[in-house]
Amino acid sequence: MSGIIKGSIEFIMNIYRERALVLALSVDDFRQQYLGSYLGLLWALFRPLLFVATMWLVFSVGFKRVGSDHVPFILYLVSGYAPWAYFADCVTGGMNAVVNNRHLVKKVDFRVSILPLVKIISSFYLHLIFLLIIAAIAVYKGYYPTIYWLQLPFYLFCIFIITLGLGWFTGAIRVFTKDMSQVISVILQTGFWVTPIFWQASSVPEKYRIFLYINPMVYIVEGYRNTFIYHRWFFEYPRPLAFFIVFAFVFLLIGVVVFKKLRPHFAEVL
């Protein structure tokens, strides 16, 4: 076990040494994906914002629903949807990072393991815009910036850790089977509805609520709301935090091991 951990740390440190290349590739990926046309970035923002607007109309106007503790539902909704959208984008991009860059995989001197990381950082640039949108809505609704907003980087790091592990794991498996795309699609669709994005975690009976945190995105979604709305620190909930840390780092370790094991065979398949 110690050998696996040592090898994983070395694997991650080798990627860290390529940080300048990762940053350059992420900027280039963002530019190609969103700035390749006049409306590229606008379309990237329009689709999720249209979804949020539709959900707000259905639940807030149609069903006359308000957020938890009479929080404005639009703020409650967007602060939960934004981290989920970022997570889903990172997972999908990380899964396809290797197969979509076949020309780089076959280069002997290129470190393929950075590709899922490139997609995560590329998606982060768009997420920054969503964070500004959340901040604008919060201020408009009377929820002004507080010291609690300083913990946002912690939750961003949480998303980074979990999606990096998932990216390495699913990206490696995806090279050998297209079924991984279907599996992840089903998991993301199911995960959206079982994550308290437009419903309240408090609606689950307290004795069963701990099972919600088997889904790591519950902790992050609630964390965003604690940051922008409820003004609670991340360390005020030690049990969900412990659940998340264990899940995230175990999956990060699994992702490293699987990617290292399968990496030598990528060029043969692609």
pLDDT tens for 248-257 read 888 888 998 8
Buried b (16+ CB within 10 A) or exposed e, 175-207: beeeebeeebeeeeeebbeebbbbbebeeeeee
pLDDT confidence tier of residue 39, bands split at 50, 70 and 90: low
Residue 177 above 60 pLDDT?
A: yes
pLDDT confidence tier of residue 219, bands split at 50, 70 and 90: very high
Percentage of the chain beyond pLDDT 70 is 85
Give the highest mean pLDDT range of 143-152, 207-216, 259-268: 143-152
Distance CA 218, CA 210 (A): 10
Average pLDDT of span 177-205: 87
55-69, 96-110, 116-130: which has the minimum mean pLDDT?
55-69
Distance CA 122, CA 28 (A): 8
- What pLDDT sits at residue 260? 86
pLDDT confidence tier of residue 269, bands split at 50, 70 and 90: confident
121-130: per-residue pLDDT in tens?
988 988 988 8
Average pLDDT of span 220-230: 93
Average pLDDT of span 170-189: 90
41-45, 159-163, 200-204: which has the minimum mean pLDDT?
41-45
Buried b (16+ CB within 10 A) or exposed e, 229-263: beeeebeebeebbebbeebbeebbbbbbbbbbebb
Kindly state the tokens that stand for 110: 């290129």
- What pLDDT sits at residue 43? 66
Average pLDDT of span 24-43: 72
Please enumerate in sequence order all residues whose Cβ is within 8 A of that of 223, keeping only pairs 6 or more positions apart, or say none. 83, 151, 154, 155, 158, 234
131-151: per-residue pLDDT in tens?
988 898 899 888 999 999 999
Kindly state the tokens that stand for 52: 């949020």
- What pLDDT sits at residue 110? 77
Pick the more confident residue, 208 or 1.
208
Angle (CA) 50-51-55 rounded to 5° is 115
Residue 62 above 60 pLDDT?
A: no
Distance CA 225, CA 81 (A): 10
Angle (CA) 109-111-113 rounded to 5° is 160
- What pLDDT sits at residue 229? 92
The chain-wide mean pLDDT, for the chain, equals 83
Burial of 114 (0-12, 13-18, 19+ CB in 10 A): buried
- What pLDDT sits at residue 107? 73
Pick the more confident residue, 80 or 63.
80
